[in-house]
Amino acid sequence: LRPLPLDLPNLPPMLPGGLPFVGHAGELRSNPVAMVQRGRDMFGDIFCVRLPGTLGVVMTGHAAQEKYFRFRDDEVSQREAYQLMTPVFGKGIAYDAEPQIMKEQLGFFHGALRESRLRTYTDGFIAESEHFFGKWGQTGEVNMLEVGNEVTLYTSTRCLLGDKMRFKLSKEFSELYADLEGGINVISFFAPYLPLPAMRRRDKARVKMVELIEKIVAERRSDAHTHEDILQTLVESSYADGRKLTVDEITGLILTIMFAGHHTSGVTFSWIAVLLAQHPHIFRRLVAEQREILGDRERITYDDLQKMKLLEATIKEALRLYPPIILVMRRVLKAFEFQGKQVPEGSMIIASPAVGQRVPEVFPEPHRFDPDRFMPGREEDKRWPYGHIAFGAGRHRCMGIVFAQLQLRALWSHLLRNFEFDLLDPSYPVDYTNLIVGPRPPCRVRYRRVGQQSAGT
């Protein structure tokens, strides 16, 4: 642990509280959003917290977020902030790679996420919605968090490994994936290689995952069929020097995109259920939008999804109120100044979508669920380019925004046309125990099947 540079002149103000050695880590673990909000209420856009072995500098509010997301990679480093992912993604992959190599690796995803591919994936999202929700009865009680995570696991497997593998491999893939995830928690931020049972399971699961992907890659290499999935893009890709990706790298990149896109979409799916059941007038307007775009048609297309503007705005608003990634981090490589305060080299800067998206100067009545703020005429996100940061911003902005939007629109378009929902519990609090933050289980919801004609009337 390095001593914290607390004696430097002109540091941002220090948040009171915290304990010896661990500083504010306890509060960061139990309720990070309340901690960041407490600091913002006391000091405004910038303040310090003590973290194990490092100084944290929290930056919220539009000006601070703009500064944060405009840094270059030689000024602040994601690599050093996200070391916890290395045991899952693998050595030399994504955040563990040199920035130039990471850029090339993420570049492979550009090919996998181009429009023609998104059209293919969308067919998979639509087919999965029909298959998955087709099995629901006339009425029933579900845990919407589980539903969100399960249905997006299937859609992800389709896009990553193809429709065939969705049915063949989902169970094995999901068990290994659960063990990998179990080894990622707040402790691993500071000590990713502690010899704890969860971390051992994580490491074993990664070895098995490489074996699993190795078999599929070998089949692909001897297979004349064309495959339109992310695995195929990676199998065909090479680095700028002509080198092909190894199976370990392919597996690491599959896991990178899975970790980036699966639970984030799953918890957003479940928040939408909660928010729509709490706001029936928005639910009815969304059902009307479906009718307007589709008429009596049951089969939807990629182009239909593009027209669903209120649904798009609803997803954006759910992500504003409940961003699955509540904090993002960077290690400072070059000291800088902001609002007259000095931020030293080596400190960890933190931005918070959860707090930053509820700043009233940017989003009036910030705690109100109001999808219209993103509709033509208001477009509050366009007026404040660093206000809506659920997908990050700047050079490392999420690469899966369109993918996530299309997936959520396909799933919700199906639900809006076929079901109504009621909440079963008095409140649906946020659960901060996982790295990807969603509603606290069991997140119970009752569904009722409706005909398209009677829905919302």
Picking from 241, 215, 252, 3, the residue whose alpha carbon sits closest to that of residue 106 is 252
Rounded to the nearest whole angstrom, what is the least distance from the CB of residue 104 to ligand HEM in the complex? 12
200: left (phi over 0), alpha (psi -120 to 50) or beta: alpha
Binding residues (CB under 6 A) for ligand HEM: these are 78, 106, 109, 257, 260-261, 264-265, 268, 319, 323-325, 328, 390-392, 396, 398-400, 403-404
Residue nearest to ligand HEM (CB): 400
User: In terms of CB distance, is 279 or 396 closer to ligand HEM?
Assistant: 396
Give the H or E element holding residue 188: helix 186-190
Picking from 154, 298, 162, the residue whose alpha carbon sits closest to that of residue 227 is 162
Helices (H), 384-438: 401-418
Rounded to the nearest whole angstrom, what is the least distance from the CB of residue 137 to ligand HEM in the complex? 29
3 state DSSP class of 447: strand
> In this structure, are residues 82 and 240 in contact, taking their beta carbons and an 8 Å threshold?
no
User: In terms of CB distance, is 46 or 325 closer to ligand HEM?
Assistant: 325
Rounded to the nearest whole angstrom, what is the least distance from the CB of residue 139 to ligand HEM in the complex? 29
Rounded to the nearest whole angstrom, what is the least distance from the CB of residue 264 to ligand HEM in the complex? 3
> In this structure, are residues 257 and 160 in contact, taking their beta carbons and an 8 Å threshold?
yes
User: In terms of CB distance, is 6 or 402 closer to ligand HEM?
Assistant: 402
> In this structure, are residues 338 and 46 in contact, taking their beta carbons and an 8 Å threshold?
yes
> In this structure, are residues 275 and 423 in contact, taking their beta carbons and an 8 Å threshold?
no
Rounded to the nearest whole angstrom, what is the least distance from the CB of residue 391 to ligand HEM in the complex? 5
Neighbours of 30 (CB within 10 A): 12
| Separation of alpha carbons 295 and 328, rounded Å | 42
| Separation of alpha carbons 188 and 323, rounded Å | 21
Rounded to the nearest whole angstrom, what is the least distance from the CB of residue 89 to ligand HEM in the complex? 11
